[in-house]
Structure 1
Amino acid sequence: MKMFLLAAALAIATTSNVVAETPNQHGWIGTETVKTRFGDFEFRNGYPDDASAAKLREVLLISRAVEAYLAQMPAVSWYRTWKGVAAAGDKAPNQLVIWESLMDAQTLLLTGNTETVYGLAAIDLQRDGPVVIEVPPKMLGGFSDLWQEQIAGIGPTADDKGRGGKFLLVPPGYDGPIPEGYLVGHAKTFGVVLGMRGFLVEGKPEPAVALMKSTRIYPLSQASSPPQMTFLNGSGKEIDTLMAEDFQYFADLADLIEREPADIIDSAGRFQLAAIGIEKGKPFSPDTERKAALTEAARLASAMARTNSFASTYPERLVYDDRAWEWLFIGGSASWDPRGYVNTDLRAAFAYVAVGMSPAMVDKVVGQGSQYLSTMRDSEGRHLDGSKNYRLHLPANIPVVNFWSVVVYDSESRSELRNGKPFPSVSQYTDPQSNADGSIDVYFAPTAPAGKEKNWIRTVPGKGWFTLLRFYGPRKEFFDRSWKPDDIVEDR
């Protein structure tokens, strides 16, 4: 009997030990303080106390809001472009904004260039139904929905083969007749941006402007008697197309979700947005506490976006093994899925500094299209400072068919640097001074080096800056890297 009781006692003790050790084996939260970088959270018997539960819900909200901010950045950015263009000038339905004297620093647009004539139009298929756009020849660009997915391309390697033509854009869910004779684009969103660029002729914009003004935009229902076009000269005007970095970002996202088809975002994405209070068919009216949390999330997400764009650690970003120059479009895929999944970090990194995601941005065609290199660092890896003096050496025979340019951007706005001059750039069209061997030095400084005024771009003390080096019609020497630019060096 004693032996039986002893065995039973040992069995109970053994069982008790197993139960007691199980939580440790699985790492379960029991009665303890869970310490994290987001704070300490109190648990008793596996349950959070009221204060910890409230704080954890807030952390989850902010986490989801940050991810939503980064994931939807291409859409919010392009929506702000659509709104900014639509609100300019007379706000006419068939308005085309043309930067007739080129795009200067008065316009707030992500990394616009100063060497081509820009034309932008905001097309509303919800208001107008199917829309006809008569595009002139010799343009480069396309039509994109509000998630920056290309609907149709314009240019030598695009749908119109550079010859221009009549495009017909039809809205989501359209099941009406489609007449013949059009290049048809089926849009996934009601909002569409037309963006096109025309090239200078002997350094002058007038021929491209004249061509661009032959554009016609009108509803298909008015094809028999199209209304008169409205052209707005955007040069020298305060046109703001930039997204916000505070609570307004989420307000814009909510507006966008409300006006566009629900299925433009997948089910998981819709849940993520609904979890922070953005849901199609429901008002976005966060209370004071939630608005404060979303404001904090926007600031945190903006900080992360700047890190993605300006302090990336992706090895694929580097163009050369021995240079600081980076690809503006990392990964070689306009759909951001070169490894079989959409890399939202890389997509957000691009969307934070640029607009106009399209296959043409990554197509590598010798002598056609364009390629872009970017740097925000000097040869020693330090971010560029507007109070310092720098020099960029471009070896002779810059490999382009059309033109090259160096444009400086404000690191805060990511738009052309407002430095007191219309165009913060040096290019093939500005006739910079060449060295004896045909190479060119470009100078960046608050004041011009003596005798180098034509090669100088003024920078602003107290402002960070970065630059894009553009190649329009890049030659094979660009692609095989037998020609490459030097790093930007500080002139002490």
Structure 2
Amino acid sequence: MSSNRLRVVMLILTATLVAAFAGGAAAQTSESHGWLNNDQARTPYGTFQFKNGYPTADTSRQVRDVITRNRAIEVYIAQMPTVSWYAVWKGIAGAGGKQPNQLVIWERLMDAKTLLLTGNTETVYGLAAMDLRKGPIVIEVPPKMLGGVNDIRQTEIFGIGPTGVDKGQGGKLLIVPPGYAGTIPPGYIVGHSPGYRIVFAVRGFLEEGKPDAAVALMKKARVYALADAGHPPAQAFVDGSGKEIDTIFPDTATYFDDLGQIIQDEPAEMFTPSDRFAMASIGLVSGKPFTPDNAQRKLLAEAAQIGSAYARVNGFDSQDATRIVYPDRKWEQLFIGGSVTWDAQGYPNEDRRAAFSYSAIGMSPAMTSKAVGQGSQYIWTMRDAQGRYLDGATNYVLHIPPNIPVKNFWSIVVYDAQSRSLLRSHQPFPSVSQYTGPVANADGSYDIYFGPKGPPGKSKNWIETVPQKGWFVLMRFYGPLPPFFDQSWKPGDIEVAK
């Protein structure tokens, strides 16, 4: 939490006390400054009592609880990218064979059994969780691979691909841990990680509608310890398709347990001084076990619930004007402000970062690069044309005009508003894309249908939704072309079907 945010929390509490007293909710006093003497201050947090200007024992306890809860809420919001990526790290490390440096590949694409924030059904994913506490790790990257290596805070150490460190030619990457003083052999592209837990993430596109070529390319990658470079062990691969793999962080007090483990294991310098103060004030101190008592754990559980409630308001009911993609549509930006570091306004905007982090992962500069015909762009919506949240029991239709501005492909994917993962229904892949063979209209446009039952004869253009489940849509543009950027082309809104 930034020092500015901490000051805001303290000012709000102070203002509440003063307002309650000055407005007549407290006992009468002739003190013009509003200073509390022998008074009761009735606030939304409870009644605070003072005698001769001093707080009673109950008041001290109450106010400390308020501060602990409020600071924990701010820590929840500020550290969401880190705790989220740690959940990914744990989920991948614990999948399948649970071997060191195993590479999990969704060989038959990602289906709804995988819990991953806004994963894509039309992209082949590969993920490996690595631990540098035992020393440097080598990643052998084949040519034409796309991806990157991120530390536990979702900060990119390496980009991989045409715009990455290997320039699309592949090579041997060497990631060294903090403070490493050992010998670095020649022939490696070296990256210095600020922390010990890192994630290697790659993706590949379908060829002729099939994942085979992308999977074969990923299986040329090798991940092993530098100490084993002379005789690298056989690479362990796990097929993630069709498996229950959970990579999403909790909205309970366990969130703070995970953060406590990160703080205990990672260098303190990974966090800013103001972050460290905020975390220390709720018992999260570098190098010390996190052992909250029952009373504190209750406050942390409340903070996680309030923090997650705010995250949903912040993400699904954002009031940030720059989120709107088209002035006359309900589509919104996933990266509000267009900056992967969230500092487009001259300072890190924690609300924008948290809005992204609650529903998505992967803060790579390539995701915000506006390169024509390269990379990807994303827009999303959780509302229909009238501004109502999308309801799983209602039938809808989305009109997509002809000449979709992509060099590679486009996709429409539906997600569960609760889990922010692929919506689980009778369809294993809740999506329609260029690869799934939707039926075009006579003018080349498409009508995509959403609802618990598909319209007759429209199965190729229908995505099943589930009653009593909210849902939202991401539209992806891979290799976006000029009409996307200048907005001379734009999709329709999602309309209630007649």
TM-score (norm 2): 0.92
1:22 Cα shift? 9.0
Aligned to 2:125: 118
**1:209 aligned residue (212, 215, 221):** 215
Alpha-carbon distance between aligned partners in 2 of 1:366 and 1:39, rounded to the nearest angstrom: 56
**Match for residue 256 of structure 1?**
262
Counterpart position of 2:137: 131
Aligned residue number for residue 442 of structure 1: 448
Do structure 1's residue 76 and structure 2's residue 83 form an aligned pair?
Answer: yes
Q: Is the CA contact (8 Å cut-off) linking 1:30 and 1:43 kept in structure 2?
A: yes
- The aligned residue for residue 8 of structure 1 is none
The counterpart of 2:432, out of the listed 423, 426, 436, is 426
User: Contact 2:263–2:287 at 8 Å: present in 1 too?
Assistant: no
Give the whole-Å Cα distance in 1 for the aligned partners of 2:491 and 2:407. Answer: 17
- Measured in 1, the distance between the counterparts of 2:373 and 2:293 equals 55
Q: Per-residue deviation at 1:184? A: 1.5
Does residue 1:322 correspond to 2:328, yes or no? Answer: yes
Match 1:222 to one of 212, 216, 228: 228
Match of 1:171 in 2: 177
Contact in 1 for aligned 2:137/2:223 (Cα 8 Å):
yes
- C-alpha separation between the residues in 1 aligned to 2:132 and 2:273? 24
Aligned counterpart for 1:40 among listed residues 25, 35, 47: 47
Report the secondary structure of 1:430's partner residue.
Answer: coil
Residue type of the alignment partner of 1:274? A
Structure 2 equivalent of residue 162 of structure 1: 168
Q: TM-score, normalised by structure 1?
A: 0.94
The unaligned stretches of length 5 or more in structure 2 are 1-27
Aligned mates of 1:328, 1:88 — CA distance in 2: 29
**Counterpart Cα distance in 1 of 2:381 and 2:181:** 47
SS at match of 1:151: strand
Comparing 273-282 with 452-461, which one deviates more in the overlay? Answer: 273-282
Alignment partners' CA distance in 2, 1:293 and 1:412: 23
The residue type paired with residue 104 of structure 1 is: D
**Counterpart code for 1:96:** L
Partner of 1:433, secondary structure, is coil
SS of the residue 2:246 aligns to? coil
Q: Which residue is equivalent to 1:373?
A: 379
Instruction: Answer yes or no: is 1:237 the counterpart of 2:243.
Output: yes
Equivalent residue number for residue 355 of structure 2: 349
Q: Secondary structure at the match of 2:114?
A: coil
Q: In 1, are the aligned partners of 2:86 and 2:152 still within 8 Å (CA)? A: yes
| Aligned-residue CA RMSD (Å) | 1.4
Query: Matches of 1:136 and 1:468 in 2, distance apart?
Result: 30
Does the CA contact (< 8 Å) of 1:326 and 1:374 recur in 2?
yes
Contact kept, 8 Å, 1:97 with 1:232, in 2: the verdict is yes
1:464-479 residue pairs with structure 2 within 5 A? Answer: 464-479=470-485
Aligned residues: 471
Q: Which residue of 1 aligns with 2:24?
A: none
Structure-2 separation of matches of 1:21 and 1:76: 48
Q: Specify the code of the residue in structure 2 equivalent to 1:426.
A: V
2:36 matches 1:29: yes
Secondary structure of 1:392's partner?
strand
* 1:408 aligned to which of 382, 406, 414: 414
Structure 1's unaligned 5+ residue stretches are 1-19
C-alpha distance in structure 2 between counterparts of 1:244 and 1:322, whole Å: 36
Distance 2:388 2:45 in 1: 30
Per the TM alignment, residue 472 of structure 1 is displaced from its structure 2 partner at its CA by 0.4
2:4 is aligned to none
Q: What residue in structure 2 maps to residue 61 of structure 1?
A: 68
Larger radius of gyration: 1
| Equivalent of 2:201 in 181, 195, 199 | 195
* In structure 2, distance between residues paired with 1:422 and 1:134: 33
Task: Tell me the equivalent position of 1:185.
Answer: 191
In 2, the alpha carbon distance for the partners of 1:296 and 1:384 equals 28
